[in-house]
Amino acid sequence: MHTVVVGTSGTTAEDVIAVARGNARVELSGEALDALARAREIVDALAAKPEPVYGVSTGFGALASRHISPELRAQLQRNIVRSHAAGMGPRVEREVVRALMFLRLKTVASGHTGVRPSVAQTMADVLNAGITPVVHEYGSLGCSGDLAPLSHCALALMGEGDAEGPDGTVRPAGELLAEAGITPVELREKEGLALLNGTDGMLGMLVMALADLAKLYTSADITAALTLEALLGTEKVLQPELHAIRPHPGQGASAANMAAVLKGSGLTGHFQEESAPRVQDAYSVRCAPQVAGAGRDTMAHAALVASRELAAAVDNPVVLPDGRVESNGNFHGAPVAYVLDFLAIAAADLGSIAERRTDRLLDKNRSHGLPPFLADDAGVDSGLMIAQYTQAALVSEMKRLAVPASADSIPSSAMQEDHVSMGWSAARKLRTAVDNLTRIIAIELYAATRAIELRHGLTPAPASRAAIAAAREAGVQGPGPDRFLAPDLAAADAFVRTGGLVAAVEPVTGPLA
């Protein structure tokens, strides 16, 4: 099994996905264990002094003014975890919780939190045992980090609360730890706070969304090319010299993808024929690289923000190399929240333009000779009429999900935490948006492949033929009389979601961006 080694200098997106989705094992490097020990010595020294230090010998948030006596500090750390584990609503997905736990371990291993090496090791042991704490949908304001979700994870480290075992059954966390031979942690000064104070949930969801969107943007370039072909459009708008004079990198990449898919097509080049007379293709076809490309550039910016956050140590207070323990505001989720919202906006627009292309394929007045709704016997058959309704409903939902969460803030903790990021909410709605975008692209694929097959006597591009053949093999049926459509759409969704569309095309086109 692949092993991810956690050091002091952060982690990578690939490692997050390996742990969250691939169940990779986690190990702490010797460097990380040494850094943990050094930072703990500093915290222990401060704990022995009479002067109050936030998080070490004081209360938290609006209660930070109270100095806590030594005999109550262990109870203080337990209490913050128990009281902050106040989430509600449905369970969060296993991969999100694993990403959250791993990213918290990443910060702990930096040596800036003052947590003992034994606590960090227990965090790694829980991940490796396949134990996943139950985390709920609601409870994070994104400042001070993802408090409630992280608290539910910390609670499991203490042997309390519920968790999912490696067999998928939810049971008391203490039972699962015992079966795995893991001793619950007994928290000391600073440790409870250090386990809760981070942007780990929103960051983990950002990393996974970027991985999913990268595949979807390539898939959308393919379906846009298939639609252009089905509409007898012109590929001349994809010429690289046209995109070189407006040098947005994403636009050039999307145009190159579409051109590669359309190479050798017998359906393009009919632009001025009597059967398809027009001066230009509609915007939804002609401007596909510009819209998808802008989304690609948005992803590049979001990936830059994610890489910086993956290298960060987010906690409050933090232990600095010179021995100081300083309060700070690095737990605020604004940098991550903004790009999560930005991605949702770009995804909504990509879904919107895909739906407009699908609608054009189904409208006999704009499809240049295709039957109404791509029906076998229009009037007796409705064809793909309601598949487009489903796509339109998804697009409408995408637009609602594009409303920024990060533009909101709601005060908490008796006005001590009077401005929050709402980054967790931005991440949760982005996950739904990514799911919906997958379905929208799948419906365009379904319509475009059927439309191409209805262009009798014309030969699609080799890449298009490969896409159609693979889709049919995956259970996405072709033209014919009306049938129960939901299974076809589900098959198209799975084909896109698992990367089947891209995998079918790339042996013909070469690697796509």
Residue 415 has what pLDDT? 87
Q: What is the C-alpha separation between 68 and 52, in angstroms, rounded?
A: 8
Residue 64 has what pLDDT? 75
Residue among 186, 183, 154, 160 at smallest CA distance from 173? 160
Contact between 446 and 483 (Cβ < 8 Å): no
155's tokens? 């609670």
* Mean pLDDT value across residues 109-137: 97
* Mean pLDDT value across residues 213-217: 98
Q: What is the dihedral of CA 208, 214, 217, 219, to 10 degrees?
A: -100
Residue 471 has pLDDT above 70, yes or no: yes
Residue 62 has what pLDDT? 66
Residue 54 has what pLDDT? 80
Confidence label for 145 from pLDDT (cuts 50, 70 and 90): confident
Q: Which amino acid is at 144?
A: S
Q: What is the C-alpha separation between 24 and 127, in angstroms, rounded?
A: 9
* Mean pLDDT value across residues 155-159: 98
179's tokens? 């079966």
Task: Provide, rounded to the nearest whole percent, the portion of the chain with pLDDT above 70.
Answer: 99
* Mean pLDDT value across residues 24-43: 97
User: Which uninterrupted H or E stretch holds 15?
Assistant: helix 13-20
pLDDT (tens digit per residue) in 290-308:
999 999 999 999 999 999 9
* Mean pLDDT value across residues 322-333: 92
168's tokens? 């998928």
55's tokens? 């998080």
Residue among 446, 449, 452, 458 at smallest CA distance from 269? 458
pLDDT (tens digit per residue) in 332-358:
999 999 999 999 999 999 999 999 999
Residue 153 has what pLDDT? 98
Residue among 261, 264, 271 at smallest CA distance from 234? 271
Q: Is the pTM of this model over 0.85?
A: yes
497's tokens? 């979601």
Residue 270 has pLDDT above 90, yes or no: no
* Mean pLDDT value across residues 70-92: 93
Residue 58 has pLDDT above 90, yes or no: no
Residue 278 has pLDDT above 90, yes or no: no
Sheet holding 162-164, edge to edge: 132-133, 162-164, 170-172
Which is more confident, 115 or 413?
A: 115
Contact between 451 and 370 (Cβ < 8 Å): yes
pLDDT (tens digit per residue) in 89-104:
999 999 999 999 999 9
Q: What is the C-alpha separation between 127 and 25, in angstroms, rounded?
A: 7
Which is more confident, 323 or 169?
A: 169
Match 């134990």 to its residue by tokens: 131
Residue 79 has what pLDDT? 93
506's tokens? 């790339």
* Mean pLDDT value across residues 274-290: 89
Least confident of 58-62, 84-88, 304-308, 359-363: 58-62
Secondary structure (3-state) at 403: coil
DSSP 405-472: STT----BTTTTB-----HHHHHHHHHHHHHHHHHHHHHHHHHHHHHHHTSTT-PPPHHHHHHHHHHH
pLDDT (tens digit per residue) in 364-406:
999 999 999 999 999 999 999 999 999 999 999 999 999 999 9
Residue 362 has what pLDDT? 98
Q: What is the C-alpha separation between 235 and 479, in angstroms, rounded?
A: 25
Phi, psi of 421, deg, nearest 5: -90, -25
Contact between 46 and 237 (Cβ < 8 Å): no
Contact between 442 and 496 (Cβ < 8 Å): yes
Alpha-helical (H) ranges within 28-181 are: 30-47, 73-84, 94-108, 117-128, 147-157, 173-179
Residue 279 has pLDDT above 90, yes or no: no
Residue 237 has pLDDT above 90, yes or no: yes
* Mean pLDDT value across residues 9-32: 98
User: Which uninterrupted H or E stretch holds 319?
Assistant: strand 318-319
Indicate which residues carry an active-site annotation: 54
Q: Which amino acid is at 171?
A: R
Residue 152 has pLDDT above 70, yes or no: yes
Residue 59 has pLDDT above 80, yes or no: no
* Mean pLDDT value across residues 495-513: 98
Residue 300 has what pLDDT? 98
pLDDT (tens digit per residue) in 396-449:
999 999 999 999 999 998 888 899 999 999 999 999 999 999 999 999 999 999
* Mean pLDDT value across residues 273-284: 84
